[in-house]
Amino acid sequence: MSRFAAPIAEQIWDMKYRFKKADGAPIDLSVEDSWRRIARDLAKVEKEPEVWEERFYAALEDFKYLPAGRITAGAGTARNVTLFNCFVMGTIPDSMGGIFDMLKEAALTMQQGGGIGYDFSTIRPRGADVMGVAADASGPLSFMDVWDAMCRTIMSAGSRRGAMMATMRCDHPDIEQFITAKSDPARLRMFNMSVLVTDAFMEAVKADGPWELKFGNKVYHTVQARDLWNKIMQSTYDYAEPGVIFIDRINAMNNLNYVETIAATNPCGEQPLPPYGACLLGSINLARLVKNPFEGDAALDEAELSDLVATAVRMMDNVVDASKFPLPEQAAEAQAKRRIGLGVTGLADALLMLGLRYGSEDAAAQTETWMKAIARASYLASVELAKEKGAFPLFDKEKYLSGGLVAQMDEDVKAAIAEHGIRNALLTSIAPTGTISLYAGNVSSGIEPVFAYAYTRKVLQKDGSRTEEEVVDYAVQMWRDKFGERELPEYFVNAQTLEPSAHVRMQAAAQKWIDSSISKTINCPEDISFDAFKDVYMQAWDTGCKGCTTYRPNDVTGSVLAVSEKEDQAPGENPADHVADSGEVIYMSEPLERPQSLEGATYKLKWPDSEHAIYLTVNDVIINGHRRPFEVFINSKNMEHYAWTLALTRMISAVFRRGGDVSFVVEELKAVFDPRGGAWMEGKYIPSILAAIGGVIERHMIAIGFIEGEGMGLKSDPQAQVMAVGEAPRGKACPSCGQFDLQMVEGCMTCMSCGHSKCG
């Protein structure tokens, strides 16, 4: 009998986490094999590895403890990948050589699959003097563009793309340009961006006082704090970025504030980290720990929770020793502090099983109780590890106990730390769990509310027919199994029906017992007033949150949920009738077989300084009356090009035959820079021959009507499609699989069909 609660769970495991040979042949024959692989690898460092392997396996079994995707995919594979999810890189020096050294470090880190965070506040502002070269500085935004281009060219380990976070202090002279950078939909797309907001700035905002923008000892401008705050709010209201990080609060509440200063976070914001800090993540699946769900005596088993937390802490501590690191500085930082980030997923489902409405005062109180129980169990487990294996190297009893979250712990916990030390400097964090929550049976993600109780997932088969697969929330499926088709109670709420203040209430309740931070998206309705929107951020500040990220549907990033009806729809007409022949992008579970004949076009590409031209043929397939690229052939008499053109031909054709919105292939090719230099072609500078090939494919896509125009998306706007009655609302198409299942979850656009995430 399968351990998977839903077909999509097994598909996610097979696609993301199953250990396979290079040719795709599975090594993990079942999910039990995956659990065994992880348990065995993380038990290697124990004195009794066989004993701990069984305990680790028991924690993983039935998806009770969910290590982050890097661990689940990489542990026990002997591959040269890091088991850490992401890193904050070193402090960027204010020099050209230092900046590009940092760029190299970023590339090396992303090659191994790590997301990165950077504080760009250390780079002098635009127009500042550059000593010795009689020039003006180009400013941090110009270097962020370089980072963005680098990130586009790197495919991280596995199927994960690079993700980056950029921060800038609220008193940097270029902060206004930073705030509005994402108003250009084509700029800095690989970055999440957040403003580092200080306590002094928030006080100045509330007092409507002046605010100095300065670098070094020089004041460049003085603005009104409230005007700058309103600029942040307006940009976030319009474009969903930048986020806000309350950086002084983060440093004040840091257990390690005596040895480090934090100025950046990982890409999703749940791990504020010092230079070269790394985030090691895992989640307790609360939905699996509720006994007698939906009954009067429903309760979460706190004894089981404490035991599970203790095992998870030990497993995560072992990852510090088992993992590889892209840079030696990252390894040294991890070993010196041994910080981990144990969090939760399935919170909203667990609350539903107890009959609690997410966002209510009762739900917030229950959340705070569970988070405190996890914090206590984590700290006590780490003390036990310190008895056995020693405290983290930078542990200083007096300083450690005098600040941060540890100062608020119960007296027995502090006494245990004072007597024995503690193995891990920080222990708790709530991370995005979009993909692993699907893998665990579509439990609610992190501490987010249930997004949709059920939706239909379409899959195109080889013969051109479509099958439909219902994806149901874990708690809703449990309700159905128990009560059949009985109507869901009123306390079943979802992300679209919650008021923003309910989101903030839950984030603040959880934050009280989380020593790092929380990745949480506060969904706001499109018609929320600007003043009400600003109040969300003030509520987050006033209730003790360490940051705030909102999502309001907008013209630049699109709508998470968008439902529209065609103007010519007759009264009472079923909208599904309009869908049948639509040009929607479709994901194929298996590649389509090649028809006997295809229509296409051949293009001649003459690269300057090359003796022979390249001939590029793009053939198309017609699905539901709509033409789309199906395969590519690249030919040249220049044998120097043979190997890479053949490889490119096969790879692009394989992607095209999978379906979906494959226009990203053009974007990736056009972003490739040749360090030897590009060439001018038809009045444009083309950075590489690969970029030129991307341009040819793009022109073909435009010609057949697959995309709207140069640099633009699908010609058939996914948001204009009409939905069948009862079908989940649609937003933009996923760039990986083409399904209309993109959701803003914990700050990341995440596809609920294939698990693709902007943040990795």
As a whole number of angstroms, the distance between CA 634 and CA 641 comes to 10
Distances from the Cα of 521 to the Cα of 146, 241, 400, 495, 707, angstroms: 28, 12, 31, 10, 31
Query: Distance from first CA to last CA of the chain, Å, rounded?
Result: 31
Specify the pLDDT at position 462. Answer: 54
Long-range contact list for 489-494, CB < 8 A, 24+ apart? Answer: 489/355, 490/357, 491/352, 491/355, 491/356, 491/357, 492/352, 492/450, 492/453, 493/357, 493/358, 493/359, 493/449, 493/450, 494/449, 494/450, 494/451, 494/452, 494/453
What is the tens place of the pLDDT at every residue in 96-150? 899 999 999 998 888 777 789 999 999 999 999 887 666 788 999 999 998 888 8
Neighbouring residues of 146: CB distance < 8 A, sequence distance ≥ 6: 103
pLDDT at 734: 62
What integer pLDDT is reported at residue 651 of this predicted model?
Answer: 86
Task: Please enumerate in sequence order all residues whose Cβ is within 8 A of that of 654, keeping only pairs 6 or more positions apart, or say none.
Answer: 591
Tracing tokens 């979802």 back to the chain, one arrives at 494
Question: Among residues 251, 254, 266, 619, which one is catalytic?
Answer: 266
Spatial CA neighbour of 245 closest among 541, 512, 551 = 541
Q: Residue 513 and residue 12: Cα distance in Å, rounded?
A: 31
- Among 457, 370, 453, 451, CA closest to 746: 451
Residue-level pLDDT at 92: 95
Burial class of residue 685 in the structure, from the number of CB atoms within 10 Å of its CB (0-12 exposed, 13-18 middle, 19+ buried): exposed
User: Which contiguous run of DSSP H or E holds residue 634?
Assistant: strand 626-636
Pairing of strands 281-285, 65-67: antiparallel
- As a whole number of angstroms, the distance between CA 592 and CA 436 comes to 29
For the beta sheet containing 278-279, the strands, ordered from the edge strand earlier in sequence to the opposite edge, are: 278-279, 86-88, 115-119, 164-169, 191-197, 243-246, 547-548
d(CA 557, CA 555): 6
**Per-10-residue mean pLDDT for the chain, 760 residues long?**
84 91 91 97 96 98 95 90 89 92 89 86 92 78 89 53 87 97 84 96 98 96 98 94 96 96 94 94 97 96 97 98 92 97 97 97 98 98 98 97 95 98 98 89 94 74 66 94 93 89 97 96 91 97 96 65 32 29 42 76 84 86 80 82 81 81 83 75 80 90 83 47 36 56 65 60
Distances (CA, A) of 692 to 419, 519, 616, 644, 709: 66, 39, 11, 15, 16
Active site residue 285: no
Q: Determine which one of 86, 268, 524, 737 is catalytic.
A: 268
User: What residues form DSSP beta bridges with 466?
Assistant: 460
Residue 572 has what pLDDT?
Answer: 33
Out of 241, 270, 448, 746, the active site residue is: 270
Beta strands in 147-209 (DSSP E): 164-169, 191-197
Please enumerate, as own/partner, the contacts of 605-610 that have beta carbons within 8 Å and a separation of 24 or more. Answer: 605/692, 605/693, 605/696, 607/679, 607/689, 607/692, 608/679, 608/680, 608/681, 609/679, 610/638, 610/689
Q: How far apart are CA 188 and CA 208, in angstroms?
A: 31
Q: What is the pLDDT of residue 88?
A: 95
Query: 104: Cβ–Cβ under 8 A, 6 or more apart, which residues?
Result: none
Distance (Å, whole) CA 308 – CA 256: 26
Beta carbons of 690 and 667 less than 8 angstroms apart: no
pLDDT (0 to 100) of residue 566: 31
What is d(CA 637, CA 526) in angstroms, rounded to the nearest whole number? 56
How much is the pLDDT for 739? 57
Q: In CATH, which of 3.20.70.20, 3.40.250.10, 2.40.10.120, 3.90.1300.10 is domain 86-132+141-264?
A: 3.20.70.20
Q: How many residues does the chain have?
A: 760
In the residue annotation, 548 being an active-site residue is answered as no
**Contact (CB, 8 A) for 633 and 647:** no
Question: Coil, strand, or helix at residue 511?
Answer: helix
Tokens 């995560």 — which residue? 316
Q: Which H helix or E strand runs over 62?
A: none
Instruction: Give me the sign of the Cα torsion angle 62, 66, 69, 74.
Output: negative
The b-or-e profile of 568-605 (16+ CB within 10 A means b, else e) is eeeeeeebeebeeebbbbbbbeeebeeeeeeebeebeb
The answer to whether residue 266 is catalytic is: yes
In whole angstroms, what is the distance from residue 636 CA to residue 661 CA? 28
